[in-house]
């Protein structure tokens, strides 16, 4: 028997019109799905951009069918110009980092499941929540318009270093209007994030149901809470940076542009700004941002694993403390992007110390995951396959950090494909695996249908092998000194590496095509998949007590009462089940743990 408290009124009423149900919804679940759809659309765009980039790198003079129609200036005769390569690269990175990696694991899954997992009907500020999605969507629209202005999108990379990004269109195609649009889109994105973080933090602090103490929160809630604290502080620094950058463009200020610069034989009319100031502001945001991209994934993987291992983690406390340590340290390490930037070389050593230290909490988490596998009853399904794949990818991506954290080695590896391999493995693959794992795990709950397990497994296998084939070779290229952000490889020492690039391109196109399986599975299962029970994975947390899909007010107007944490797996119960749900007053007879 599961207890509930007296029926309260709800945060908002049920939706009545089509618009309030599906478009301007106050329901956190709908908002979560809207974020997911946005991320899905964005990842397709970002992936197509990466294919274009990879084809050009492997076969620089090839005419790509259809590209001229997309951009007559950027690809006359279908052959990509170097500037268009950089423009596609800038947009690829910006779309992926912001609209996929910050959106899906955090905003999409977090919006959907955080209120449910704490036992609330919704977040405390549903109007802000709705605004946060539509603001993010608007930011995406603004960003995409950069493709359609005459000079095209900016080419300065997602890092957009000044002065290249600040002095205007003479610095290169897209550096005028395109760059301003880019900065504006990011500024608007920051507002959306702040509204979202506000809701997430308030939900965890103020909306937990009876019995849901902080120590009983599922690990995913902690991951989203930590991420929103980081988002609050990091995006609140990016916004000022974009404001100052826009002012340098449109108002003639000189925040980032020093005097004495000469472009096209003309003196640039700015003076006294600081080039490095942009880097400091950007990376103070930028480094926490990459942890914002990965920590929700770590939470999801932990959550999926304990359900599928049928036992709790060896120490959930160790994982939680490590996540907090990662979040905290992430603010202190940002200078490792600037080792050879011209900042004081002593500062480089200072920054390298916490960067090396951050290995420790990462290792703790990985060892706890692996150690918890020992003696477990690991169930293999697509969700757990992606979770296990995450561990492998996170190790691969993390280990290259050992090199990059040291300034002396960074002398050789800075701005090479070694860095590109590093961040793609942790962000482009591991974080994506976290999103996939969460999708396969929670799709039944969100839609009421099961996904096709066979197609899911094929998707996993081909993606797992494919992404290793794409991104491992990046490290070899970097080790040999292959500089990044090159539109073509004309240098003597780079020409012999072109066959490696061609291999990578083929792997990338293949792996990209495999994702069609995932898309098909999503869409087909949404409408034709077999009906999903309330608790297909025998999970303990509160999302499994509600029907699949949940009603508009989550718990049907009755607040659940919580008696346990979410780790009651591998226990002996009177009913014979090996788990106890959080809202069940039943106590374990014994744990199943032995030696």
Contact positions with another protein (CB under 8 A) in 352-391 = 352-353, 356-357, 359-360, 363-364, 366-368, 370-380, 385, 388, 391
Query: DSSP for 54-105?
Result: HHHHHSTTPBPTTHHHH-TTTSGGGBPPHHHHHHHHHHHHHIIIIIIITIII
Interaction pattern, residues 400-439, with another protein; x per rule: CB under 8 A: x-xx-xxxxxxxx-xxx-----------------------
Site membership for another protein, residue 342 (CB under 8 A): yes
Instruction: Kindly state the smallest distance separating residue 198's Cβ from another protein, in Å.
Output: 5
Angstrom distance (rounded) from CA 230 to CA 197: 9
Q: Which of residues 204-263 bind another protein (CB under 8 A)?
A: 205-213, 232-233, 235-237, 239-241, 243-244, 247, 251-255, 257-263
Which of 44, 332, 488, 546 touches another protein by CB under 8 A? 488
Neighbours of 263 (CB within 10 A): 13
CA 310 to chain centre: 27
Closer residue to another protein, CB minimum distance, 145 or 376: 376
Which of 58, 126, 163, 218 touches another protein by CB under 8 A? 163
User: 591 CB contacts (<8 Å, ≥6 apart)?
Assistant: 570, 571, 572
- Residue whose structure tokens are 């809701």: 199
Q: Which of residues 48-107 bind another protein (CB under 8 A)?
A: 81-83, 86
Closer residue to another protein, CB minimum distance, 112 or 468: 468
Q: Are strands 571-572 and 590-591 parallel, antiparallel or unpaired?
A: antiparallel
Residue 500, φ and ψ in degrees, nearest 5: -65, -40
**Quick one: which segment of 154-162, 507-515, 534-542, 545-553 binds another protein (CB under 8 A)?**
154-162
Interaction pattern, residues 185-204, with another protein; x per rule: CB under 8 A: ---------x--xxx-xxx-
* Cα angle: 240, vertex 244, 249; to 5 degrees: 145
Closer residue to another protein, CB minimum distance, 238 or 532: 238
Neighbours of 159 (CB within 10 A): 16
Closer residue to another protein, CB minimum distance, 440 or 489: 489
Angstrom distance (rounded) from CA 517 to CA 454: 11
Site membership for another protein, residue 463 (CB under 8 A): no
Closer residue to another protein, CB minimum distance, 481 or 536: 481
Instruction: Kindly state the smallest distance separating residue 22's Cβ from another protein, in Å.
Output: 25
Closer residue to another protein, CB minimum distance, 171 or 290: 171
Interaction pattern, residues 539-578, with another protein; x per rule: CB under 8 A: --------------------x----------x--------
Instruction: Kindly state the smallest distance separating residue 252's Cβ from another protein, in Å.
Output: 4
Two structure tokens written together for 558: 């009755």
Nearest to 96 by CA among 53, 151, 134: 53
Q: Which of residues 280-319 bind another protein (CB under 8 A)?
A: 280-281, 284, 309-311, 313-315, 318
Q: Give whole-number Cα distances, 423 to 228, 243, 413, in Å.
A: 21, 27, 13
Nearest to 559 by CA among 84, 210, 57, 193: 210
Two structure tokens written together for 44: 């397709």
- Residue whose structure tokens are 């800038």: 90
Closer residue to another protein, CB minimum distance, 374 or 527: 374
- Residue whose structure tokens are 């196109």: 509
Closer residue to another protein, CB minimum distance, 463 or 548: 463
Angstrom distance (rounded) from CA 101 to CA 15: 30
Number of residues that bind another protein (CB under 8 A): 165
């Amino acid at each position: 028997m599961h207890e509930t408290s007296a029926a309260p009124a709800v945060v908002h009423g049920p939706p009545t019109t089509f618009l309030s149900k599906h478009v301007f919804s106050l329901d956190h679940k709908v908002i979560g799905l809207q974020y997911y759809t946005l991320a899905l659309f964005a990842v397709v765009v970002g992936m197509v951009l990466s294919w274009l980039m990879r084809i050009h790198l492997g076969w620089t003079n090839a005419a790509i069918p259809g590209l001229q129609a997309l951009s007559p200036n950027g690809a006359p005769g279908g052959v990509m110009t170097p500037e268009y390569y950089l423009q596609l690269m800038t947009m690829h990175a910006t779309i992926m980092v912001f609209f996929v990696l910050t959106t899906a694991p955090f905003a999409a899954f977090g919006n959907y499941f955080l209120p449910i997992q704490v036992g609330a009907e919704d977040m405390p500020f549903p109007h802000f929540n709705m605004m946060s999605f539509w603001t993010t969507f608007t930011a995406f629209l603004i960003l995409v318009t950069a493709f359609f202005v005459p000079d095209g999108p900016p080419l300065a990379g997602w890092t957009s270093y000044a002065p290249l990004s600040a002095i205007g269109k003479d610095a290169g195609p897209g550096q005028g209007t395109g760059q301003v649009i880019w900065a504006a889109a990011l500024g608007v994105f920051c507002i959306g994030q702040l509204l979202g973080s506000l809701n997430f933090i308030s939900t965890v602090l103020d909306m937990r149901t009876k019995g849901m103490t902080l120590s009983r929160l599922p690990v995913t809630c902690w991951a989203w809470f930590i991420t929103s604290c980081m988002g609050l502080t990091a995006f609140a620094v990016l916004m000022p940076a974009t404001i100052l950058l826009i002012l340098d463009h449109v108002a003639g200020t000189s925040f980032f542009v020093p005097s004495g610069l000469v472009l096209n034989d003309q003196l640039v009319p700015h003076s006294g700004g600081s080039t490095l100031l942009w880097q400091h502001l950007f990376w103070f945001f930028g480094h926490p941002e990459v942890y914002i991209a990965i920590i929700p994934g770590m939470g999801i993987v932990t959550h999926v694993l304990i359900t599928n291992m049928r036992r709790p983690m060896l120490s959930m406390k160790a994982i939680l403390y490590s996540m907090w340590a990662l979040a905290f340290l992430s603010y202190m390490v940002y200078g490792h992007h600037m080792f050879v930037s011209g900042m004081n070389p002593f500062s480089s050593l200072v920054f390298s110390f916490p960067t090396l230290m951050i290995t420790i909490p990462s290792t703790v988490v990985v060892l706890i995951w692996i150690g918890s596998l020992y003696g477990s009853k690991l169930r293999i399904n697509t969700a757990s396959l992606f979770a296990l794949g995450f561990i492998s990818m996170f190790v691969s991506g993390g280990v290259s950090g050992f090199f990059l954290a040291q300034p002396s080695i960074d002398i050789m590896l800075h701005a090479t494909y070694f860095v590109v391999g590093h961040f793609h493995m942790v962000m482009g693959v591991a974080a994506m695996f976290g999103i996939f794992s969460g999708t396969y795990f929670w799709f039944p709950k969100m839609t009421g249908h099961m996904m096709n397990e066979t197609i899911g497994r094929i998707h996993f296998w081909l993606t797992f092998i494919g992404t290793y084939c794409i991104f491992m070779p990046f490290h070899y290229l970097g080790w040999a000194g292959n500089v990044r952000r090159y539109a073509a490889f004309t240098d003597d020492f780079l020409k012999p590496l072109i066959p490696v690039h061609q291999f990578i391109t083929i792997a990338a196109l293949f792996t990209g095509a495999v994702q069609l399986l995932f898309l098909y599975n999503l869409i087909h299962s949404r409408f034709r998949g077999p009906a999903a029970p309330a608790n297909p994975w025998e999970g303990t947390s509160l999302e499994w007590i509600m029907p699949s899909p949940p009603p508009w007010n989550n718990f049907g107007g009755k607040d659940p009462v919580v008696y346990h944490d979410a780790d009651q797996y591998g226990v002996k119960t009177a009913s014979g089940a090996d788990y106890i749900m959080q809202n069940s007053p039943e106590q374990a007879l014994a744990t199943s743990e032995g030696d």
